Structure 1
Amino acid sequence: MTTKKNTTERRATGDHFEGAALSFLQARGLRLVRANFLCRHGEIDLVMRDGDTVVFVEVRYRRSAAFGGALGSVTAAKRRKLISAAHLWLAWHPHDARRPCRFDVLAFEGDAVEWVRGAFETSR
């Protein structure tokens, strides 16, 4: 059973790593468009620009690689939700729909960070 304290702690942890991901990506030249885009299909942690490309970023954190680790936690079901949310973003922001897009994953595992550019593909 999830308690309010556990939910609050998880949200604080998520906020911390989303902030770390934002700093990491901005240091590499990406620009923030929107954080925490929430819609009926789910949430996109960060919507960013890498030059002319719209980048939908999923931030994942795991204390260790046990149970598949941070990258392994981006399941097929999670990818479908991200793709659906991105399609909605593009419908609501038609100027972005004309730009190239990609999905990146920033995986924090213990003290390590891995940035997977173009982590998965989708057709528009």
Structure 2
Amino acid sequence: MNKRETGSRYEEAAAAFLQKQGLTLLEKNFRSRFGEIDLILKDGAYLVFTEVKYRADGSLGYPLEAVDLRKQKRIRDTARYFMYIRKIPEDTPCRFDVVGFTGGDLQWILDAF
């Protein structure tokens, strides 16, 4: 399985998990010149932009560590653009979550940054 297939598999697993938690999936793999957002969901009044990361084990670092300041900025900029082109009001409450998989273990960080 190549990296893209692996990534897609874990994005699907994260989407299924989050939907079981009551979130509504709006879009997957939104891309712009600013970057990509893996999952965009709705949680009550909140628009939730979610990054999904996978590591087979911790030998190369843990998945949540991969969402560094540079990655956070790209996600925020992409989220702003998404809201702009979809004409979503600026005062809409937003949240940035991260779902990390290490092996088979899932960790969900709400309002990660």
TM over 0.5: yes
Task: Identify which of 58, 62, 70 aligns with 1:69.
Answer: 62
Matched residues in 1 for 2:27 and 2:104: separation?
26
| Percentage of identical aligned residues | 39
1:81 is the counterpart of 2:81 = no
- Between stretches 8-17 and 54-63, larger displacement belongs to 8-17
Q: How does 1:1-124 map to 2 (within 5 A)?
A: 9-120=2-113
Q: Of the two, which has the highest radius of gyration?
A: 1
Q: Given the superposition, is the C-alpha separation of residues 76 and 48 from structure 1 closer, same or farther in structure 2, using an over 3 Å criterion?
A: same
Letter in 2 for 1:65: G
- Which structure ranks higher in relative contact order (CA pairs < 8 Å, sequence separation ≥ 6)? 2
Instruction: Name structure 1 gaps, 5 residues minimum.
Output: 1-7
Q: TM-score, length-normalised on structure 2?
A: 0.95
CA displacement at 1:67 relative to structure 2:
3.0
Superposition misfits of 4+ residues, deviation over 4 angstroms: none
Instruction: Name structure 2 gaps, 5 residues minimum.
Output: none
SS in 1 for 2:2: helix
Report if aligned partners of 1:54, 1:96 keep a CA contact under 8 Å in 2: no
Matched residues in 1 for 2:101 and 2:76: separation?
21
Matched residues in 2 for 1:95 and 1:72: separation?
30
CA displacement at 1:94 relative to structure 2:
2.3
- Between stretches 11-20 and 62-71, larger displacement belongs to 62-71
Letter in 2 for 1:81: R
CA displacement at 1:96 relative to structure 2:
4.8
Aligned Cα root-mean-square deviation (Å): 1.2
Query: How many equivalent pairs are there?
Result: 113
Q: TM-score, length-normalised on structure 1?
A: 0.87
